[in-house]
Structure 1
Amino acid sequence: RRTGISRNSVRKYLAMLLPASDADSPALSNQDLADKAYNNDQLEHDALRMEQLSQHFKSCQSELSKTGVTRQLLWQEYMGLYPDGYSYSRYCYHLKLYLKNSDVSMHLEYQPADIIMIDFAGKKQHYVDVPTGECIECQVFVAILPYSGLIFCKAVHSQQTADFTTCINSMLKYYAGVPATILCDNLKTAVIRPSRYEPVFTDICYQLSEHYATTFSAARPYSPRDKAMVERAVSIVYAHVYAPLRHEEFTSLATLNEAMTRQLYLLNNKPYKNTAYSRWYFYDKHEHGLLRPLPSEPFGPKKVVVLTVQRNYHVQLSEDHLYYSVPYQHVGKKVKVLYDNRVVEVYLNTDRIALHIRKPHSKAYTTLADHMPPHHQRMQTIKGWNKEELLLQANSIGTATLQAATLMLENSIYIEQNYKACFGMLMLQKKYTKQRLEAACNRALQGTRVNYTMIRNILERGLDKQIIVPENDTSIPLHDNIRGKDHYQ
């Protein structure tokens, strides 16, 4: 009656233990009693089968992840090795226990302001478009600072690039700072190629990283526990934001976000269980001051195109048919061009090689002098001269150079050609010195005309170094044998 065992079962156990109940016999241990009460041979058999099953599980654990491999197939292979093995139901039961015990979790400690985890909730919100009566579903972006647990959420129309950047801007504005790392799931907007060790991110993530001076990181594929905090945050948002709003109807995305923000404020100010401190308390006390400051302006996404640098060391944006220069050394190379309404940036691999202010209504070519080869820079310099500047530079060399420059500038009706010739003459000073150029101009002035070629030839042949000897006076002296005007009538 005390044990709840039938009378016949008690008699059976007593019969097993009766031979060892003599007063002279030593007291039996619990293990000895168990061996006598149960069929020990069966226990040994079960222990052997369990050992065989454990060995089988070690070899087949990785097989389950392979295409087409099922528990049924693994059990059939197990029975082929051990015909006296467990039935299929017991096999699945022990396999479940084995996987649970071998797949343990690690508790992670987070540092203040070190990381923000982001994700899109699986369940959507919605609002009703009044003119059409259509129910429009919305994605919900969720983020959390793991150290303090401060949660952020925002409804957007999609997970596309424009909405994704809107969410990142709003999130960082809400947190009033930037963490060292932003950890995301392998969503297509953020990750091009998932990888356990080196994922490849989209251009928008690299742009965001550069603008906010942070870095993006991705969770391992198929490993939700890498971002367990944000997974838990999604569940909290379901309970504290979705549920209280379930009976309300919204007529726009803005009104939906306003209502979600109110619930979010209540959630973040709600004290943790069995404490007097809320998420906002830990954020203000431990994290806010450690976050990096926000830039002066929110991020604006840039369009990205890959172009080839043309022979004139420019790239053309087909959107407005304007050309922007890059250093001439990169002619023929493929470059990545990032642009928005304000700037145009040109990257070769990861190095920015050109930056221009974008002016959609400016002239067709925007060229920086530093991007031009040396001889093009000289041509550009020539185009920039005017008559007054050239004469001022000639006067600094000498009087003869000034006279020669004046004559050259008045040489023909093609003003630009005159500027080029005069500029070329002045540049001869770099090769032959100012003194020799002044002497060459002085010699050239003795002739009937002055031009660039004449002065250059004088310098090349060293004629400027020769002393000019004045010619003898050959005028006819006065005498009587002079015919007057009357002689020719």
Structure 2
Amino acid sequence: MRRIRHLLTMHFGAGASARLIARELGISPSTVREYLGRAIAAGITWPLDVDATDEILMARLFVNGGVRLGARYHAEPDWAVLVREFKRPGVNLVILWEEYRATHPEGYAYSRFCELFRDFERRLSPTMRQQHVAGHKAFVDYSGKRVPIADPVTGEVRMAEIFVAVLGASSLTYAEATWSQALPDWVGAHVRMFRYFGAVPRLLVPDNLKSGVNKASFYDPEINRSYAAMAAHYGVGVLPARPRRPRDKAAVEAGVRFAQSYIVGRLRNVTFFSLGECNAAIAVALERMNNREMRRLGVSRRQLFETIERHAMQPLPQDDYEYADWHLARVGIDYHVEVQSFFYSVPHALIREQVDTRATARTIEVFHRGKRVAAHVRRYGGPRHGTQPEHMPSAHRRYAEWTPERLQRQARGIGPNTEALIIAVLARRPHPEQGFRTCLGVLRLFRGLDAVRVEAASLRAVEIGALAYASVASILKHRLDRPTSPQATDETPLLHDNIRGSSYYH
């Protein structure tokens, strides 16, 4: 369903053709047309409703089974022969189609014949002349060159990356320095790029950088989820360049080279002491570059952008995109999920279910099957558990077997000290359910150990207040459950080569 949503976003939101969508998703154009036909037949409007979960969307799209569109039902000519004939002087597609229909009167109509011919021809030739439509594409990439930035206190030099974006039609260029090519810097650079353009293109064409594309593939590229969420926020599609196909991103490659000479080359003798200072200098050089008249066209990039491209682009959304990390998580038996060592509650009916977590600087959101089921203020300190009362189980719990009594009974089978440890762990939490995870971990640590040692370790943990899983594990690892004494059993001092006597201090 995630790929179907991507398909709908690219078509309705970005206006991409079925061929471009098919190329990005690694499916045939006929399959794309089939899904679009189903969406139209189901009356699905754009943008999708907020409550349109995966289950609701699936039910609406596949209610009638449908008929496969774009299938090939008629006899086809030898396309390789037709391609060779097409190269002959005076031969065009009309002549070839008329000869085809003379042999196959029930064959394809002219429009479908031309479409199939072009599809076959494209498979033969990997190169094509790119003509960029105004407002259609923005090419994004990182420059291979980096900028040194010196620490004003220590003098340590740190290298910064240069992000470059170029609009396809006007070649308007944006550049900035970031500390890395990691996902937060990559997404943040896009947000500032859109703000600089003041509008949004219909498609982004990134290189196969790991921050943008998890899996580079001509047939089935896998877009990073946080990057895809940013693109969805701005209503822009993502069409990665093919691996090892530099002509797919020729515009940005030219922009990168020009930026390297115009920005990096001119600033090579300038010493920067902060990232902000570097970006301020890049912004000045960028304005000179975009306002400089292009020799062959007689106008500047900025003038070309304002004349032909700005009005063809989509408007910016009201708010900038806020970067978020997405992760898969499994709901524990205490109906909490873990995000960066803190725990956040979800409805207890989701125990043991797999969910998606979305973490921003301020909030933690949890999604189950495309529907948000919980939202919390992000925690950076204080209690590790954030529990909302409405998420707590009622008297009829779905997993009633996990109770404090059961955990105590299991510990009692080992010994009284172990039972005391489990009781102390549960009593330390505001809600006993929050201690289930720790208790299970502690009991799992004790598996296979001698009961005498387990009892000694439990006693040691209770005495020193070590009521966390990591603390108990440390006691066992370092054998702190075993009593130690600096003297021998007969109370005489121990003698050893590594022990310095009193004579050492005279």
The TM-score normalised by the length of structure 1 is: 0.51
1:89 matched to which residue of 2? none
Query: 1:237-295: CA deviations, max 9, x gaps?
Result: 12222222223222222222111111110110111114442111121122222322223
* Alignment counterpart, residue 320 of structure 2, candidates 294, 298, 301: 298
The one-letter amino acid of 2:337's match is Q
1:143 matched to which residue of 2? 165
* C-alpha distance 266-295 of structure 1, shift in aligned 2 (>3 A): same
Between the aligned partners of 1:288 and 1:358, the Cα distance in structure 2 is 38
* Alignment counterpart, residue 332 of structure 1, candidates 352, 367, 370: 352
Between the aligned partners of 2:211 and 2:126, the Cα distance in structure 1 is 31
Unaligned 5+ residue runs, structure 1? 1-101, 377-489
| Count of paired positions | 272
By how many angstroms is 1:147 displaced?
0.6
* C-alpha distance 201-288 of structure 1, shift in aligned 2 (>3 A): same
* C-alpha distance 358-133 of structure 1, shift in aligned 2 (>3 A): closer
By how many angstroms is 1:139 displaced?
0.9
1:356 matched to which residue of 2? 375
The one-letter amino acid of 1:335's match is V
By how many angstroms is 1:143 displaced?
0.5
1:225 matched to which residue of 2? 247
* C-alpha distance 359-246 of structure 1, shift in aligned 2 (>3 A): closer
Between the aligned partners of 1:359 and 1:239, the Cα distance in structure 2 is 44
Helix, strand or coil for the counterpart of 1:182? Answer: strand
1:177 to 2:199 alignment: yes
Runs of 4+ in 1 over 6 A off after TM superposition: 371-376
* Alignment counterpart, residue 292 of structure 2, candidates 270, 294, 297: 270
* C-alpha distance 323-121 of structure 1, shift in aligned 2 (>3 A): closer
Helix, strand or coil for the counterpart of 2:140? Answer: strand
Please provide the CA RMSD for this pair: 2.9
* C-alpha distance 110-309 of structure 1, shift in aligned 2 (>3 A): same
1:323 to 2:323 alignment: no
Query: 1:341-368: CA deviations, max 9, x gaps?
Result: 443322345x134242426489842255
Between the aligned partners of 2:394 and 2:200, the Cα distance in structure 1 is 42
* C-alpha distance 302-275 of structure 1, shift in aligned 2 (>3 A): closer
Q: Which has the higher contact order (CA 8 A, sep 6+)?
A: 2
By how many angstroms is 1:221 displaced?
0.8
Between the aligned partners of 1:318 and 1:267, the Cα distance in structure 2 is 44
Between the aligned partners of 2:277 and 2:396, the Cα distance in structure 1 is 62
| Superposition map of 1:452-471 within 5 A | none
By how many angstroms is 1:103 displaced?
7.8
Helix, strand or coil for the counterpart of 2:239? Answer: strand
Between the aligned partners of 1:318 and 1:110, the Cα distance in structure 2 is 43
By how many angstroms is 1:311 displaced?
5.1
* C-alpha distance 190-310 of structure 1, shift in aligned 2 (>3 A): same
Unaligned 5+ residue runs, structure 2? 1-123, 398-506
| Superposition map of 1:75-154 within 5 A | 105-154=127-176
The one-letter amino acid of 2:144's match is G
Between the aligned partners of 2:235 and 2:166, the Cα distance in structure 1 is 19
* C-alpha distance 179-352 of structure 1, shift in aligned 2 (>3 A): farther
1:445 matched to which residue of 2? none
Identical pairs, percent = 24
1:168 to 2:190 alignment: yes
* Alignment counterpart, residue 346 of structure 1, candidates 352, 363, 366: 366
Write 1 or 2 for the structure with the bigger share of helix. Answer: 1
The TM-score normalised by the length of structure 2 is: 0.49
By how many angstroms is 1:321 displaced?
4.1
